[in-house]
Chain A
Amino acid sequence: MKFIQKEHGNGGKQTYELINGLFKPIFGSEILKRGDDSSIFDLASKKIGVTTDSFVVKPYFFKGGDIGKLSVCGTVNDLAVSGLVPKYITASFIIEEGFPIEDLQKIVRSMKEYADIAGVEIVAGDTKVVEKGSCDGIFINTTGFGVCEKEERLPSIEKIKGGQIVIVSGDIGRHGACIYSHSSELGVEEKIESDCAPLNRVINELLKNVEICYMKDLTRGGLATALNEIAQKASVDIYIEEDKVPVSNEVKALCDILGLDSYYLACEGRFVAVINKEDKQKTLEILKKYNKEACEIGWIEDTKEKRVYLKTSFGGTRILDMLYYEMLPRIC
């Protein structure tokens, strides 16, 4: 087995071999193949969007994906929920000396696979190799460019108002639960599959057919954090019904064991959408083609406390805060 050496990062012959022998053939992008200092491409649009994100997940191979897939999906999804069509992405790698080249190959192939599925082209990249111990295996940064096809259809926070409903595109907490289930000896024999997936197709179909007032993908901090951000930015209150939020049994079981709250578990292929009541049926029709678990989970109120409330099954309205300390109990 071959491993990444310090020399792979020194800009010399071995770097050249790595780029031309590994990255370029897999990514296969015409723009990339030119090997110019900058990639030049055409984005025929009045408005373009750009987003960037770094990925440091451990383990880098997990059930349902790997760090490569994650780095493409994460950036594609950020563009998609903003109402943009993802077109191009760049990829930078920071690799620890001694990293298996075979693993790198797998990761890069996976990036290519999901770039193709999402319909984006990888147009620029960079690789740095750092000394053993300076980073943990591999870090990937991706930057994405998307175009706006119909400006008037762009979701925006200003469109949110009382009476609208909140929809989630699938069951929540899978990615976070997946990563936890991978920590060895976590007691769970079956690993949980991550929900990591590109969302641009489903979102594109939604945007063509219904008016989406606002969208947000669920990432770190999960559903609770995403909803809190929306409530804050839109100055509204959001009510969620506990019974309606879809959580798979395996995620529930893991949360039970670890004493975690599924509302705060990360997702990597789910989003919430705020829509007008009358669009509910059509929205759900489209969403359910992609994920049967998609459903309405709550509603918006104009009360302006900027809080997220959880209507629990046994009375009382719990506050679903944005948390400062992820796992610290408040109970005395």
Chain B
Amino acid sequence: MKRYRYIFRGLVQGVGFRPFIYNLAKDLGLVGFVKNIGEGVLAEFQGELKSTAAIDEYIEKKLPRNAKIESIEKYEIEPNFDESDFYILDSSKGKISTIVPYDLGLCEECKREFYDKGHRHFMNPFISCINCGPRYTMIESLPYDRDRTSMKEFEFCYDCKKEYYTPDNRRFNAQSTTCPICGPRLFLYSFVEKKHIDGNNLELLDRVCNEIEKGKIIAIKGIGGFHLVVDPYNKEVVERLFQSKKREGKPLALVCKSIETVKKYCNVSEAEEEIFNSPRCPIILFERKTDHFLHVNAGLHTLGIMRAYTPILDYILTKTNRDLLIATSANLSGIPMIIDEDEALEKLCDIADFVLYHNRKIVRRCDDSVGFVLKDKFVLIRSGRGFAPITFKLKEKAVDKNILALGGHEKTTIALKKEDEVILSQYLGDLDTKEYIDFYEGSLIDLISLYDFDFDYIACDYHKDYYTTSLAQKIAKGQNKEVVFVQHHLAHIYSCMLEKNLQSCIGFAFDGTGLGLDGKIWGSEGFVIDGLEAKRVFHLQYYPLVGGQKAIKEPVRLAYYFSKIISPEFAESFFGGNEFLHQIFKTAQTFNYPLTSSMGRLFDIVGVLLGCGEKNSFEAQIPMLLESIADRNENGFYIFLMNFKHEIEINIVDILQQIIHDIKRNVDRRIISAKFHNTVAKIVVEVAKVLRENYNKDTVVLSGGVFQNKLLLSKTVSLLEEEGFKVFFNTVFPINDGGISAGQVYYTLQLLKNC
């Protein structure tokens, strides 16, 4: 008779782990118990065992699909002869360091039961089980138990209780278990009739389907917030949605039931299919192969599509007989997505026609996650539902100090380094408005209390005018903590180094704007990094941000300026004697515009020259169109000169000159765009080759918002690999500014290691 104690750490709560252990014990004929503890799951097995081999084999073979064990601690203890069975015990709150589970999309079994007339969960709009349903967005505190979630309001009916307590049931210990008898219910409000519509859940759902078919806009409360759902085949209603949301043409997300639908319109790789079907259900940017839905995706070459991850979305798709629906988050410009019905009823009256909501509270706002697949890897652009909170286990536990990192200014996230884990929050938005700052501050407090987090260091950006930087200083002053300022582009590189556990590399951070250590606006930075030591070795030669801050929204200002410098008669014919642009051009002689090495602006300029627009109505609109038009088969590139100064510099005028020359010769703009993309990729490779010579390094890291450009990223990676480099880009944390906080953590870790 032997007894073993196991402590499991990792993603082991909210994923059916305890029932799995229960079944293990039953199958192997063991007694003992299992329970959630703060730091994970604790189990004790007792029986006629020689060793733990049988237990370990069972675990390896039958681990629940959403569980992820980071570590197992096991040892033999004294047998206990009072037990006669295997028990699942209530949680005990210990120290909290377990992985907080992310929200899981509707699973196949639940979906089947939902449509099964004979099943008691037939048409249960909140159907879920141990493999699916909300998690992060309904957890109030840890450990993850029902009475610490927003499900605590709903007392089990007899049948639910039975399922919840039956060990071999799929809802055994599934905290989100509920049914129409005991669970949340639906409400439907009509802005036209200014009243709630009578009816049961099913009647209300059918009414919603009916209204969508009629071309109405419905706000629907989901997992991490409200969606606006409309029929994408009705161009009028899509237009109305754009108008009322003041989205100015920003691409809208689509939702569908199966990958077969996606395949009708897009090229789908195996890896894309796998992620699409996974319970994470992000919005995946697929490459479009037909000309459908150009009116919802701003004419881009991609369509953002996610799997219907709630029974409600799935039902609406089925009932309305649409293969796709638009499901875009319900947010007004400058204001975070709505998560609360009172707010929805107050603020959506000019936008939606109906509001479909339920009375389960959304504890935490979580936008849909967004990303794309490159070389079988998922590159995150926005971390939200299905990903957040991202828990990353540090490969080495070098530093025992805890770190709080506040991120940048746009697409902010918060990162916590707690013991040997780095935790990244969901997307917290651009902090230009009070509404987003309130969301950000609320999330900061939420994370600190959820993780019972105490920190020694606080990291932030180097830009003193970022809200997060002043907040870091304020907190540090109030709590007597030390602040670590991390330069923006370094943070980009360190975010990827953290993921790949790198100590040294050649790093390229390309983006729009970040404050450099020399007071100029950086944006195309190459570094050679060894631990904390980071040497800036490359950037585009500085050029004036002509037209000031407005040049970011209106890159036509810069495009005109460079055209005029390069070829006045081209500028004249291309921009048709625009007096306003000419005035701006003249100011460049004397006015001290900030100097920049921004790569993002260069993409803007080329985009304007190739007719992709004059203004960015939404972020990166012109560069995204530029990417869209590029000929995928073109391999040519423009010539560039590397100037060896303090750093390697490349003058963008040389490149723009050749582009203008090609435009004058009427070269197809798809070719020019491709050649430009190839040129930027080639610049990275050529610079990396020089650095490999001089610094004896062959690992290259790519990060920053410009690498959201999949064409550029894949070209750069391929060319580098051809030259024998080991190449890394972000595949855990967002590749754009959403990863800044993670980079700040890793930089601070390097700093602490050195002192």
Interface positions of A (Cβ within 8 A of B) = 180, 183-188, 256-261, 307, 309, 312, 314-319, 321, 323-325, 327-332
Q: Can you list 27 A-B contacts (CB < 8 A)? A: A185-B587, A185-B590, A186-B591, A187-B584, A257-B580, A258-B587, A312-B334, A315-B246, A316-B433, A316-B435, A317-B334, A317-B434, A317-B435, A319-B432, A323-B465, A324-B464, A325-B464, A327-B548, A329-B521, A329-B548, A330-B410, A330-B466, A331-B409, A331-B512, A332-B410, A332-B511, A332-B512
Which of A186, A259, A321 touches B549 (beta carbons < 8 Å)?
A: A259
* Cβ contact within 8 Å between A327 and B335: no
16 extra interchain contacts, Cβ-Cβ under 8 A, other than A186-B587, A332-B408?
A187-B584, A187-B586, A257-B547, A259-B593, A309-B434, A312-B334, A315-B334, A316-B332, A316-B335, A317-B334, A319-B437, A321-B465, A325-B463, A329-B552, A330-B465, A331-B409
Please indicate the chain A residues that have their CB under 8 angstroms from the CB of B409 in the complex.
330-332
Which of A187, A317, A318 touches B587 (beta carbons < 8 Å)?
A: A187
Taken together as a complex, chains A and B put the C-alpha atoms of A180 and B246 apart, in Å, by 34
Please indicate the chain B residues that have their CB under 8 angstroms from the CB of A324 in the complex.
464-465
Taken together as a complex, chains A and B put the C-alpha atoms of A307 and B441 apart, in Å, by 15
Asked if B551 is at the interface of the complex by the 8 Å CB criterion, the answer is yes
Taken together as a complex, chains A and B put the C-alpha atoms of A332 and B616 apart, in Å, by 13
Taken together as a complex, chains A and B put the C-alpha atoms of A185 and B586 apart, in Å, by 6
* Cβ contact within 8 Å between B705 and A332: yes
* Cβ contact within 8 Å between A184 and B590: yes
Please indicate the chain B residues that have their CB under 8 angstroms from the CB of A307 in the complex.
434
Which of A180, A318, A330 touches B433 (beta carbons < 8 Å)?
A: A318
Please indicate the chain A residues that have their CB under 8 angstroms from the CB of B515 in the complex.
325, 328
Which of A180, A309, A315 gathers most chain B CB within 10 Å? A315
* Cβ contact within 8 Å between B333 and A315: yes
Asked if B585 is at the interface of the complex by the 8 Å CB criterion, the answer is yes
* Cβ contact within 8 Å between B545 and A332: no
Which of B408, B521, B547, B737 touches A328 (beta carbons < 8 Å)?
A: B521
* Cβ contact within 8 Å between B591 and A331: no
Distance to closest chain B CB from A327 (angstroms):
6
In the complex, per-residue mask of B704-737: 1 if CB is within 8 Å of any chain A CB, else 0: 0100000000000000000000000000000011
* Cβ contact within 8 Å between A328 and B465: yes
Interface positions of B (Cβ within 8 A of A) = 246, 332-335, 408-411, 431-435, 437, 463-467, 488, 511-515, 519, 521, 545, 547-552, 557, 580, 582-587, 589-591, 593-594, 600, 705, 736-737
Taken together as a complex, chains A and B put the C-alpha atoms of A233 and B737 apart, in Å, by 34
Which of B408, B411, B433 gathers most chain A CB within 10 Å? B433
Once A319-B434, A327-B594, A331-B512 are accepted as A-B contacts, the answer to whether A259 and B737 lie under 8 Å apart by CB is no
Q: Nearest A residue to B546 by beta-carbon distance?
A: A259
* Cβ contact within 8 Å between B434 and A183: no
Please indicate the chain A residues that have their CB under 8 angstroms from the CB of B590 in the complex.
183-186
* Cβ contact within 8 Å between A314 and B545: no
Please indicate the chain B residues that have their CB under 8 angstroms from the CB of A188 in the complex.
583
Which of A180, A318, A319, A332 touches B737 (beta carbons < 8 Å)?
A: A332
Distance to closest chain A CB from B199 (angstroms):
33
Taken together as a complex, chains A and B put the C-alpha atoms of A20 and B411 apart, in Å, by 66
Which of B437, B465, B580 touches A325 (beta carbons < 8 Å)?
A: B465
Please indicate the chain B residues that have their CB under 8 angstroms from the CB of A321 in the complex.
465, 467
Please indicate the chain A residues that have their CB under 8 angstroms from the CB of B465 in the complex.
321, 323-325, 328, 330
Taken together as a complex, chains A and B put the C-alpha atoms of A261 and B600 apart, in Å, by 22
Please indicate the chain B residues that have their CB under 8 angstroms from the CB of A331 in the complex.
409-410, 512-513, 549, 552
Please indicate the chain B residues that have their CB under 8 angstroms from the CB of A260 in the complex.
548-549
Taken together as a complex, chains A and B put the C-alpha atoms of A331 and B705 apart, in Å, by 12
Please indicate the chain B residues that have their CB under 8 angstroms from the CB of A184 in the complex.
590
Taken together as a complex, chains A and B put the C-alpha atoms of A184 and B587 apart, in Å, by 9
Distance to closest chain B CB from A224 (angstroms):
12
* Cβ contact within 8 Å between B587 and A315: no
Taken together as a complex, chains A and B put the C-alpha atoms of A315 and B335 apart, in Å, by 8
Taken together as a complex, chains A and B put the C-alpha atoms of A267 and B589 apart, in Å, by 25
Once A187-B584, A257-B583, A317-B434 are accepted as A-B contacts, the answer to whether A332 and B513 lie under 8 Å apart by CB is yes
Taken together as a complex, chains A and B put the C-alpha atoms of A261 and B549 apart, in Å, by 9
Once A325-B465, A332-B409, A332-B705 are accepted as A-B contacts, the answer to whether A257 and B587 lie under 8 Å apart by CB is yes
Please indicate the chain A residues that have their CB under 8 angstroms from the CB of B435 in the complex.
316-317
Please indicate the chain A residues that have their CB under 8 angstroms from the CB of B246 in the complex.
314-315
Taken together as a complex, chains A and B put the C-alpha atoms of A259 and B600 apart, in Å, by 18
* Cβ contact within 8 Å between A180 and B591: yes
Q: Nearest B residue to A312 by beta-carbon distance?
A: B334
Taken together as a complex, chains A and B put the C-alpha atoms of A257 and B579 apart, in Å, by 11
* Cβ contact within 8 Å between A329 and B545: yes
Taken together as a complex, chains A and B put the C-alpha atoms of A257 and B736 apart, in Å, by 30
* Cβ contact within 8 Å between B547 and A259: yes
Please indicate the chain B residues that have their CB under 8 angstroms from the CB of A186 in the complex.
586-587, 590-591
Which of B334, B514, B557, B593 touches A332 (beta carbons < 8 Å)?
A: B514
Q: Nearest A residue to B736 by beta-carbon distance?
A: A332
* Cβ contact within 8 Å between A328 and B594: yes
Please indicate the chain B residues that have their CB under 8 angstroms from the CB of A309 in the complex.
434
Which of B333, B464, B467 touches A319 (beta carbons < 8 Å)?
A: B467
Which of B409, B547, B548 gathers most chain A CB within 10 Å? B548
Distance to closest chain A CB from B250 (angstroms):
14
Which of A183, A319, A330 touches B463 (beta carbons < 8 Å)?
A: A330
Q: Nearest B residue to A258 by beta-carbon distance?
A: B548
Please indicate the chain B residues that have their CB under 8 angstroms from the CB of A314 in the complex.
246, 333-334
Taken together as a complex, chains A and B put the C-alpha atoms of A314 and B411 apart, in Å, by 20
Please indicate the chain A residues that have their CB under 8 angstroms from the CB of B519 in the complex.
325
Distance to closest chain B CB from A152 (angstroms):
37
Taken together as a complex, chains A and B put the C-alpha atoms of A187 and B583 apart, in Å, by 4
